[in-house]
């Protein structure tokens, strides 16, 4: 199966959009039902070219009776029922509609409810990151899934950020590069010590993380490195940085994502038993973000999709690991970048698709058919034909 990702505003107000998407050779469209803030190019739309989306929004009507403490915002930049309008238009072109559902990535709710966001070992809040250890966040995600299935009636459900978000996040005028934090440092800064997570973590975990980030001995992490001090110790992995606490911290982290995931799968099966479920997943147990940690597999989902935006060798290794985690009948999808820095070259893109297929992918999830230029859309179309 080939799936093209789009936003509702790519379709609403553009009568040509459904046929343009169908012409790509895809079977389905992943249509955002819940999505975070962004600034999006709209190179095909007859009415605009750049759309500012200042906050996360829910693209179906927000029914007050459906929500608990956390209530999603409606969009002001498109119609409140944009998902429904776009879904109808796409189905009229013979396309399946999969509800692309962003769960814990929501800055507007995080700012309104700072008690439910991820906090690092220094106590710094990440407003974009709703923490799934919070019962209110789990309740919000459960209601979100149920509402999408009952009102949106999609052909399939796609769950993104089905676990904690972390440190890595593009912010307005991002000014973090000069701290020289490594990838491992970023993972350590993604560990949550909010009021819901901290009691579940082993004693000393916070101090170890702070010491690893600041390069000072554990137990003295309140003191930052002295000016002119030698470079701090670089750890090769989160496990090395955490030392004897690593297994316990890992179990807590993986357990939080698994609990949310299984709650939402149960909710989805109750609301729409026959709707397939796709999960954006990462086999790395320390993963955070759109592709949540799933190191032990998930038998309750039909499809596991891995991010394939980076180095092809790393991406194919990730796909192969997800393939190993699959139960009989489960499928693996590759989340394929059709935007820069990937070249708009059909042969090069087709070669990547072949490599992903060899690693175990039987679905291609194409990002992004609304953001891509006409030339890049043509590249998608030709690449799919080359491998068919």
In the predicted model, what is the mean pLDDT of the chain? 96
Q: Which two tokens stand for residue 110?
A: 């995080």
Q: What is the pLDDT of residues 234-286, one digit of tens each?
A: 899 999 999 999 999 999 999 999 999 999 999 999 999 999 999 999 999 99
- pLDDT interval class at 332 (50, 70, 90): very high
This prediction's pTM: 0.96
In angstroms, the CA 274 to CA 49 distance is: 38
Please report, in angstroms and rounded to a whole number, the separation of the first and last CA atoms in the chain. Answer: 11
Considering just the CA atoms, what is the radius of gyration of the chain in Å? 21
Phi/psi at 281 (nearest 5 deg)?
-135, 155
Average pLDDT over residues 69-86: 99
Average pLDDT over residues 351-364: 99
Spatial neighbors of 177 by CB under 8 A, at least 6 apart, are none
Please give the domain boundaries of the chain with CATH numbers for all domains.
Answer: 2-171+180-387 (3.20.20.80)
Q: What is the pLDDT of residues 24-65, one digit of tens each?
A: 999 999 999 999 999 999 999 999 999 999 999 999 999 999
- Identify the pLDDT of residue 221: 47
In angstroms, the CA 132 to CA 387 distance is: 40
Q: Tell whether the model's pLDDT for residue 227 goes beyond 50.
A: no
The DSSP code sequence of 74-115 is PPSSS-TTHHHHHHHHHHHTT-EEEEEEE-SB-HHHHHH-GG
In angstroms, the CA 138 to CA 28 distance is: 28
133: exposed, middle or buried (C-beta count within 10 Å: 0-12, 13-18, 19+)?
buried
């Amino acid at each position: 199966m080939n799936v093209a990702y789009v936003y509702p505003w790519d379709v609403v107000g553009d009568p040509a959009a459904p046929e343009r998407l169908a012409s790509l050779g895809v079977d389905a469209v992943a249509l955002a039902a819940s999505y975070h803030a962004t600034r999006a190019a709209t190179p095909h739309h007859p009415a605009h070219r750049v759309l500012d989306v200042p906050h996360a929004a829910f693209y179906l009507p927000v029914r007050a009776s459906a929500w608990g403490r956390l209530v999603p915002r409606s969009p002001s930049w498109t119609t409140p029922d944009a998902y429904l309008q776009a879904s109808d238009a796409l189905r009229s072109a013979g396309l399946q509609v999969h509800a692309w559902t962003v769960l814990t990535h929501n800055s507007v709710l995080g700012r309104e409810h700072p008690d439910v966001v991820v906090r690092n070992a220094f106590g710094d809040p990440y407003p974009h990151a709703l923490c799934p250890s919070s019962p209110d966040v789990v309740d919000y995600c459960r209601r979100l899934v149920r509402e999408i299935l009952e009102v949106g009636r999609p052909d399939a459900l796609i769950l993104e950020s089905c676990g904690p978000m972390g440190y890595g996040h593009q912010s307005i005028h991002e000014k973090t590069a000069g701290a020289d934090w490594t990838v491992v440092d970023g993972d350590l800064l993604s560990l949550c010590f909010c009021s819901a997570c901290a009691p579940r973590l082993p004693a000393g975990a916070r101090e170890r993380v702070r010491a690893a980030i600041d390069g000072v001995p554990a137990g003295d992490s309140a003191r930052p490195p002295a000016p002119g001090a030698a470079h701090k110790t670089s750890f090769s992995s989160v496990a090395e940085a955490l030392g004897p606490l690593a297994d316990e911290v890992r179990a807590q982290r993986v357990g939080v994502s698994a609990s949310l995931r299984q709650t939402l799968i149960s909710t989805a099966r109750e609301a729409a038993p026959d709707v397939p479920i796709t999960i954006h997943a990462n086999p790395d147990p320390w993963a955070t973000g759109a592709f949540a940690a799933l190191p032990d597999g998930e038998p309750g989902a039909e499809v596991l999709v891995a991010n394939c935006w980076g180095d092809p060798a790393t991406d194919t290794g990730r796909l192969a690991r997800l393939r190993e985690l699959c139960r009989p009948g489960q499928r693996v999808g590759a989340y394929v970048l059709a935007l820069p820095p990937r070249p708009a070259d059909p042969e090069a893109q087709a070669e990547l698709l072949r490599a992903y297929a060899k690693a175990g992918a039987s679905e291609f999830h194409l990002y992004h058919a609304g953001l891509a230029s006409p030339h890049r859309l043509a590249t998608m179309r030709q690449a799919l034909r080359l491998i068919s």
